[in-house]
Structure 1
């Protein structure tokens, strides 16, 4: 009886620690909120010495965003396949995120001159965020149902295009 209780408790603990598509949707919402913070702080950057504190805050925001993307990827990896209702919900959350990504990256591009000498740091952050976003996207695609798996690469390509535009604006190679 004691072994059954211990095994049952371990099973329940494992279930509570496992991620599911709802966890991933929460993660995507968190990522979206952090994109908004980064975008707002990007728009506050002004050229010259007066803008340095704002530019540094953008870099802090980028690190926070990247950490959230990495956490979301871990949750996707820990999740079972999303199934049909979950796949549609996760896909919808990612689609809703694309306009935030587009706006934030367009604003980062528009603020290139304001970042001035800190542009190489911005470029490095763009590369890192793109790489981790791609890893997240691949992990999500692997958990989607077939219909969503077929459609998802177009959304990922769109997001990559936004990153590529920002990266090339900062002198990077794609």
Structure 2
């Protein structure tokens, strides 16, 4: 169960005429699955990009090799390029992206539970943030990431739905 009422999110997106796409790495499609679990979601969910590898990020979303080399896959820079690329490669008007270290593992510089988020909207600057969920276990990191991404989408739709 997600923290966001996804049925309400879909209804508000429909009213606001928002089309959504996702660009997911560490969640492997959990965000788009949560959206498409709702009947009627096809009116507002265009597609989900699951780009687990760096190659997929580059080929499907246009993430630059230079960005990956300079900052690594788990970075706000890559999250921004993923979200922007999802908009570019779909007719969507709102995109959320996630890239992180679900675990187990990580490093001193990129610990387990670090997830970078991107949110892109047509006609607006792409915004990013990083959340440190901590070493709470792979499943919990992935679920927390899904829930936070849905919250970001919900907030963005609320701003449009005013």
Fold conserved (TM > 0.5)? no
Is the strand fraction higher in 1 or 2? Answer: 2
TM-score (norm 2): 0.27
Is the helix fraction higher in 1 or 2? Answer: 1
Q: Which has the higher contact order (CA 8 A, sep 6+)?
A: 1
